[in-house]
Structure formats: C-alpha cells, structure tokens
Chain A
Amino acid sequence: MLELLWLVPAIPLIGSLILILTQGKLPEIPAGIIGAGSIGLAFVVACLVGMDFVASEATAYSQNLWTWMKVGGFEAGFTLYLDGVSLVMMFIITGIGFLIHVYATGYMHDDPSFARFFSYMNLFVAAMLILVLGDNLLLLFMGWEGVGLCSYLLIGFWYTDTYNGYCARKAFVVTRVGDASMALGLFLLFQNLGTLNIQEAMVLAEQNWEVSSGVATAVTLLLLGGAVGKSAQLPLQTWLPDAMAGPTPISALIHAATMVTAGVYLIARTHVLYELAPEVQHLVGIIGAITLLMAGFTALTQNDIKKVLAFSTVSQIGYMFLGLGVGAWEASIFHLMTHAFFKALLFLTAGSVILAMHHEQDIFKMGGLRKDLPWSHALFLIGTLALVAIPPMSGFWSKEEILASALLHEGSYGLWLMGVAGAFMTGLYSFRLYFLVFHGKKTHDGHEVYGLHLQGPLVVLAILSIIGGFIHIPVEDVFPVVEEHHVSLFYQAIMMGLPLLGVFTAWQVFIKGKVDTAKLTTGFGGKLHRFWFTQWGMDWLYDRLFVFPYTGLAKLNKNDFIDSIYNGTAKLALFFHGLVSDTQTGQLRWYAITLVSGLLLLVSIGVLL
C-alpha cells in the first residue's frame, strides 16, 4: 500500500482541477461532494499508507515520481518522503482538513462562489501535503509557496470588499519577505553541501560543519526567516490577524491548524542544522517566548472573536517555537497536533456563533449566549479548556511537555518564566472571550444553525481536543531521544496553577465585575490598551518604515525619471533645430548681412590670433 503515497496529494489536486475546469459552475451538492469527498478519500488513502508504514517498521519510505530539474550539479526530484513526522502532518492535514471541509459545506451554503471556494481549499490541501511530503527543500518550497498562494486566494475570497483584498495582499507580501530569506537559505545550503535533499543535507552538515560555524548560523538564520514569516512570529507576525478577513473555515484550516505551523515543521524537519547552530536555536526559543507574550497581551484587548483566536494562534505557535528552541522537537510537533485539534474546534465553533449571530463578530455585541447556543457553548468551552491547558485536556499534555523541557534545558530558565507567564495570559484572555460571549447579560438573540455537517465535525474535534493528549506520535526515529523529565512538585504546581489563576482572574473581572474595565481604557491604561490593541504598534512602524516610503517613492517616480533624460535630449535637439531653422528667413538682405559679419568675425579671429 505504501506505493499509493503519491495519491494522497494527487487526489485533492484532482478535486481542485475538476472544480476549476468546470469553471466553478458546479452546483452545491456535486461541488461539495467533490470538494469534501476528495479530502476524505485522501484521508482514507493516508490511513492505508500509514498502517502499512507502521507495520513495516521502517524508519522512512521514499517514492520517486520524476526528476524535476537536473542542472549542472544541482538535482531535485519530485520525490515524496514519509517518516514519523510527515506521517503525523499528513494525518493532521487530511484528517482535520476533511472535518473542516465537511463543516464548510454547511458554512458556505448559498454562497454564489461555492465551487470556487472548494477548488481553492482542495488546492491548498494538495500544496500543504507536498510541503510536508517533499524529500528535498525545493519541493518543500513549492508546497510552501503553494499554500501561500491559496492563503491569499482564500483571505480575499469575498473579493468585492476592498478591505479583504488588502488583507490578502498583506498576508502574501509579508510572508514573501520570509520566503525570500528562505530561498537564500536554500542557495547557501546548496553552495555548501551540494544538495537540497533534506536527509542528505543533514548527514553532510553533521560531517562538514562545525558547531556554531558561520555557515551553519547563516543557513539556519535564513531558514528561520522563512519560518517566522509563515508561522507569524516576530517580526513578521503582523499579517495573521488581518488574515481573519477570510471565511471562517479557512481561518481554521489554514490560519490555525496547518499552514501557519509550517514554520515549526520546517525547523523540526531540519533540526540537525539547528543543533549545529545552538545560538540560532536559542534565538528560535527567544522569538517564541517574546511572541507568545506579546500576542497574549494583544489577544486580551481585541473585540473581534476571530481576532482573539488569531492572536491566540500566534501565541500558541510561540510555544511551539519555544519548544524548538530548547530542543523539545517531539513536544513541539505534539503541541502542533493538539493545537490543530482545539484551535480548529474553536475557530469552527466561532464560525457557528458568527452564523448564529448573522455575521456579527464583535464580542461586545454578544453575551449570555449559552442558553441560545447550547451546542456552540459546550463545544467552545471544551476548546477553551484545551487551549488553557487544563488537565486532562489535550493542550495540557503538550504544553506541559514544552514547559518542562524549557525548565530542564540549560540556560532556558528565562524562557520558561515567559512561558508560564504566557500560560497565565492564555487563561485570562481565553476565558475573557468565553465569558464575554456566553455569559453576562444577553443583548442579542442567537439562533443556532443545526446540521450534521455543521455539528458532526465539531463533535469529532471536541473528542480529539479532550483525548488528543493520549495519542502517541511516532517520531522516535526522527528526533534525538530525550530522557524522561522529572519536574519537582513545586514547578508542577506553578505550571498547573498559573492557567487556573488566569481563569480565576477572568472570572473576577468579567463575571464578578471586581474591576471596572471601562476605567482601564482611560488615561495611561487606555494608552496601554491602544498600544497592545494595535499589536504593539508594529503595523504603524512597518507602514512608516517600509510601506509608505516604497509606495511614496514609487508614486513620485511614476513617470520614470530616466525617461526625462531621453525626452530632454530630444527637446534639446528640437531646440537647436529651431534655432538653426530660424536663421532661414528667405530674405536676401539677412543672408548677406550674416555672410559678411561671419566673414568679418573669422578674419578678425584670424588676425587676433
């Protein structure tokens, strides 16, 4: 069955092609069947392949399809590579992808561009699968760019609204900055090792590079540039909140469960390189720690339900980066998986709430919805508990593993402190969201939209969010073995207690009303609130540093100043032409005078010299 591996990305691609070639004109039912069905089928094939792979007890399986390009000493093939990590990713993408597709058939019901939506979604899944299955960095880069394109297409899906287009472009361009850096990383890697094959490169690097050598540092830094772009980490995280302009299912699929975690995957995939550059690896952890805190504060100030979740995603990916930074590769992939479960659940449930509120996303216009929306309430609560990492929910196990690793890793105590501080923030902002939406005074009625394709996937995701922590991910052969960590009871208590403290604080503030939140938004508090709300002013800064100068200078030079040089030459020629032709008056008198005076001038010059 292993040789069916190529079908896993091929089936969604075919689904997408069918929907495109029918010009998006297929009615909802066939389009939905093709759209969701192709992902379901891909999941089934993935399961068959996965069972065979596990049964074969091989560490890896690779399947060469054809040679992509072979130039000089450079070679890259369309070769798929399956090992423990890509297996986990493949299941997440097809499995969760399928659930989200099913949900989307309900969410996008009656949208005039229903088929177009699914053609993009299928294309996305295909590209994402290529990203995680590629055996060389060029093929990975193809998937990487492909998911970026689909992200752009889907954020701007409702294209008549100019704002959506702006958000889509921003997402594409900002991540492209990272991509350019990543491309340079590939060039440098190739120049030094003569290959872009991931496994070969890691072996060669270990043989040829010294720890902390310049080339190791440079390559990993450049790849990190790509990773922070795609995974919305500092300093390229600004695009993700705007990406929420897209339909909610894509926020769940692309901007929570799969694409934004590609950076984590990239670093984990090339972990040997990062181990050769410990400074950069530490930097990964620092970026993660700072991002998770900053995003936590920002999440606390948002009033759009999806934006809160978006910043929460940024923050959670920060945890994954933190894990990578302290060498907890397995824990990071583990958190990637559990996060995919509960964040997909949260986004889709948020989608249900938005549907129930007739496309209202402002949480201050919600409130007290737990009676009106019992299903959404229960599901959202499960997702929130998993996000806050309350045992025994899935998020607890993975986050605990990351934090424990940080604690035990040498020189990472600071990272650990920031991580647990972030855990408090997570409790606070998550339950702020939950309380504001489902508790308190009811202002508007909600009308739950029911349907098997809406609630069905949510229930599955909820179950996964609860029990996901007990799933074993088969990555022992991929990552170096870590010894069992034993954290003292004191630290255990802190790590379990702080999220609860966050929840308690939220309860005190938003249910009990112990703190007047209105007061917090005036004076210094107001300034701080604004500062956090605007992502610590980073958009403002980037606009002034990059966007305005670029667009401004471009507009200033719209007419291409080089052109004026040529036009100037032409004008000069015309001017002299005019000057000379003016002397042609046709009057004999004038000719005689100029002739004589010219002669006199020449003679006098001759005499004088």
Chain B
Amino acid sequence: MILVWLMLILFAGGIGAWLAESRGSDHPRAVALAAILLDLFLVIMMLLVPDAMGLGGDSVAELGQTGEWLVLMEADWIPRFGVSFIFGVDGLSMLLVALTVFLGLIALGSAWGEIKERSGFFYFNLLWTLAGVIGVFTALDLFLFFFFWEVMLIPMYFIIAIWGHENKEYAAMKFFIFTQVSGLLMLLCILLLVFFHFQNSGVLTFSYFELLGTDVPEALAMLTMLGFFIAFATKLPAVPVHNWLPDAHSQAPTAGSVILAGVLLKTGAYGLIRFTVPLFPDASVAFAPVAMTLGVVSILYTAKVAYAQTDLKRLIAYTSVSHMGFVLLGVYAWNAQAMQGAVMTMLAHGLSAAALFMLAGGLQHRIHTRDMDKMGGFWGVAPKLSFMAMFFTVAAVGMPGLGNFVGEFLVLLGSFQVSHTITAFAALGLVVAAVYSLIVIQKVFHGKNKNNYKMADLSAMEMMCFGLMMIGLIWMGMYPQSMLDMAEPTLRNLDVAFP
C-alpha cells in the first residue's frame, strides 16, 4: 500500500493546491511543499527502515541480496480485460522513486519565487506529473504503465504551454506530438504483445510477470520491440527523435525543466531496462548494435550541436541528449558494468542537469535573456551562482569524484567488452563534453560583463537546493557502492535471465 500512498499524497496534494489558490496565490505552494515533504519522509523511511514500512526484511541491502521485489501489491482493476493494479519496487525502482521525490522538492524550490500566475493550477500540474512518474517507475501491469505514461505527459504539457516563455505554444505542441505519437506506437505494441500471449496461452492479461517470456513470432518480434524502443528512445531522448527536447527545455519554466531533465528523461531509460529488453530478449540482442550505435551518435552529434548554441537552456538541453547517449549505450551493452553505469548516469545526470537548468532558469529570471552572447563576467557579479555553475559543469564533464564519472566510466568499461570500436568513439564524448562545457563557463561566467548586468546572487533557498544536489553528486562520486548495491540484484537478475 505504501506505493499507492506515495502517489495518492501527490494526487491529493495537487487538488489541494489548486483549491488553495482561492485563499491567496501563496497558499498552493505551501500545500505542495507539505505533500512533497510527506512523500520524501515516506521515501526516506522506506530506505532507512524498510521493515516498518512494509517492505519486509531489515534493510534494503539485505532484501536486495535475495533479488526479490521489495514490495509488491496486486488488485483487480478491469478483470474482463486482464487489467489489474500491480505495483512493485525493487532496488532500481526505489532509486528512481527517491530521485523523483527529491527532484520534486528541488523543482518546488525553483518555482517558489518564480511562479506567480495561476499558481494553484501550476502546482496541481507539478504534483500530478510527479505522481505519474512514480506510477511509471512502479507499475508492473502494462496497461497501468501506459496509463501513468499519459498521466505524467499531460500536466507537463500544461506546464510548458501556460508558464513557458516566448515560444511556448510551439514547444508544448511539439513535446505533446512527439510523446503522443511514440506513446501510441507503444500502446499498439502492448496490445500486440497481449494478443500474442492470449493466442499462446488463452489468458488475457497485461501483467508484466505473465507477459515475460511471451513467444512472439520472430518476424513480428522485431517490429513489436521497435514500438517499445521508439517510445522510450523518444523520451530518453536519442538521435534522431530528440528534437522535442531543446524546444521544450528552452521554453519551459525552470521547475518544468528540472522535472523534464531530472526525471522524465529517466522514464525512457527505465522503460528500456525494465520492458524493452526483458520482453523481447532475442530481438533486443539482434538490435543491440544498432542501439549502441545510436547511443554513440547521440553522444557525439548532439555534443557538436550543443557547442554551437547561443541559447543557454538550449545548449544544456543538447548536452542532456549527449549524456543520455551513454545510458543507451550502457543498456544495450547489457553486462553488469555497463548497466550499473547506465543507472548511475541516470541518477547523476538527474541531479547535474536539474541543477544546470535551475541555474539557467535562475539567470533568465534575473536578466531576462538566455542569449549567452550577451552574458559574460558573471563571476564578478554573482560568485555563489558562478561557483555552483562551475561545480555542476565540472560534474557534467565527468570529473572523477562526482557521480557522473562513475556512471560514464562504468558504461564505457562495460561496453568496451562488447565493442572496441563503438566504445572508442564514445570515449571521444569525454573530449567533446569538455569543449561544449567550458565554452559555457567562458561565455557566461568568465570574460567581461559587457552589458553591465547586475543581479542578486543566489538566495538562501537556492543555495539550499544546490547544496543538496552537490552533496548528492559527491556522495555518488565517492561512495557509489551504496547505490550500486541497491540496483545490483535487479540488474543481476536481468543479466542472468537475458544473457
């Protein structure tokens, strides 16, 4: 039940926030904060005292050793179609749920002083998106999964379309169409899969566990797998279906960007690990070289496009695609190191990209432009902000000691054992990452403040948000074992079951 509570609190908090607007525009954020803090409390309790929270066992690590689901609940929904409520978390889901709730708090912090108009509806959307994401990370019935896939999409559309910047309608529509078309494709393929399963066994079910191992005719297996793959690759995103992201990011309000980059992209990677490969192991093996190549193309191509951008948020958006290329590469290399690396990259990029977008959003809020050619020398004006920018940029470049390095290193270490050539190209990503990252520091924070911008340095609230993310990245970088251990049983089981 604990998992349902996590979502219910957010759904209810969202409605509460919307209603609270009538009492004053500052009230919704307080309601939202309460809901997220309550969720965060529950998540922390789940991590610290899983036993008391109904997760069985004394500690997550101990449970992990057996490789079982930490908590699993099942209830009927639409029995006639074999649709049921199946929620469950294992180590992998737990990490991602924790990331979601944590970044929810950060997003709230970034919206705190920024969102003034229609704040009730804003916080409603924010909380519902988060609830949708948690649903995606925990749903183990494919129909339910698809339901949450949609739940997280629509509120995000509103967030971009209503509170976005100058070109918001275009960006929101693009985001919607890309996700919707690819989502539709996935729905078709879910139905196909269910149909084949029904044909083989006579049982109509959407349950993940039942559908595992479904015997799909070879010719159609590849097509069905591709439906899943395209949906998740669009969300990830990977080249060539990445184009919604730069527009969505540059137009979204800061909190939207934080959630998009930090959490929504990870649902794509999660889908690949949880569904695409295990449901279609043979087709996935055959497709792996293509996927890995797409990963490398994503890394290098978008790094190059990123370098040329002058819009700060657009640049960071492209770098996101580049980093997620490592995840794609790691997932399809499919061995212990590469998969662990993919998960670590998801977590670390969640923090570093969220932080960078928050910095970019903060800058835009202060000087009302995202054009880097107008910026420069901000280190002298806002040293705290600049220091944070330097820190998170350095993290994104993959500096050892911070989380992103652990992820990218393990991905490359693992994929090297699969393909030397692909990995050699991917390693070039380390070089081009330095090229695009340092140009940001140069254009925005170093050099001269040509236009004499004056701005307030980071507020205490912002410092707290950045500080938390900093600690997270250092933790991941210096003691990644704590997270590797959590994800290990899940990944090991996958690795064993689908060699």
Contacts and interface: CB of A to CB of B under 8 A. Distances in A.
Interface of A: 20, 23-24, 66-74, 138, 141-142, 145-146, 149, 152, 156, 159-160, 162, 165-166, 168-169, 172-173, 176-177, 179-181, 183-184, 186-188, 190-191, 550-551, 553-555, 557-558, 560, 562-563, 565-566
Contact of A160 (B239, B380, B417, B423): B380
Nearest to A196: B413
20 contacts: A23-B383, A23-B387, A68-B478, A68-B480, A70-B481, A71-B340, A71-B484, A72-B336, A156-B446, A162-B446, A165-B441, A166-B442, A172-B438, A180-B430, A184-B424, A187-B423, A188-B416, A553-B304, A555-B308, A562-B242
A173 B438 contact: yes
A416 to B, nearest CB: 36
Interface stretch (B267-275, B357-365, B399-407): B399-407
A557 B410 contact: no
A16 B239 CA distance: 41
Contact of A69 (B308, B410, B434): B410
B416 A184 contact: yes
B290 interface: no
A282 B427 CA distance: 27
B412 A183 contact: yes
Nearest to A557: B305
A554 B481 contact: no
B377 interface: yes
Given A71-B484, A176-B430, A180-B430, A191 B417 contact: yes
Contacts of B27: none
B307 interface: yes
A69 B410 CA distance: 10
A160 B337 contact: no
A551 B243 contact: no
B434 A172 contact: yes
DSSP majority for the B interface? helix
Contact of A554 (B240, B305, B335): B305
Given A162-B447, A563-B243, 15 more contacts: A70-B484, A142-B400, A149-B399, A159-B446, A169-B442, A176-B431, A179-B430, A180-B430, A183-B409, A183-B427, A191-B417, A550-B304, A558-B309, A562-B242, A565-B240
A66 B475 CA distance: 13
A554 B315 CA distance: 12
B413 to A, nearest CB: 5
Contacts of A187: 412-413, 416-417, 423
B480 A562 contact: no
A191 B307 CA distance: 33
A553 B307 CA distance: 10
A71 B445 contact: no
B439 interface: yes
Interface string B299-326: 0000011011100000000000000000
Interface residues of B, number: 56
A165 B442 contact: yes
B379 interface: yes
B399 A145 contact: yes
Contacts of A566: 174, 243
Contacts of B442: 162, 165-166, 169
Contacts of A138: 400, 409
Contacts of A72: 335-337, 340
Given A70-B484, A172-B434, A566-B243, A180 B427 contact: yes
A54 to B, nearest CB: 31
Contact of A159 (B416, B435, B445, B488): B445
A160 B447 CA distance: 4
A432 B45 CA distance: 72
A96 to B, nearest CB: 24
Nearest to A152: B438
Given A169-B439, A190-B413, A71 B430 contact: no
B370 interface: no
Which 8 pairs, one residue from A and one from B, show the smallest C-beta to C-beta distance? A72-B336, A142-B400, A187-B416, A159-B446, A558-B308, A554-B308, A180-B427, A169-B438
B261 to A, nearest CB: 18
B209 interface: no
B484 A69 contact: yes
B307 A554 contact: yes
B262 interface: no
B239 A146 contact: no
Given A156-B446, A184-B427, A69 B335 contact: no
Interface in B131-161: none
B425 to A, nearest CB: 10
B245 to A, nearest CB: 11
A156 B438 CA distance: 11
Contacts of A166: 442
A24 B379 CA distance: 12
A472 to B, nearest CB: 34
Given A71-B336, A173-B438, A190-B413, A560 B246 contact: yes
A20 B388 CA distance: 11
Contacts of B424: 184
Contacts of A553: 304
B428 A180 contact: yes
Nearest to B424: A184
B434 A146 contact: no
Interface centre among A67, A69, A550 (most CB of B within 10 A): A69
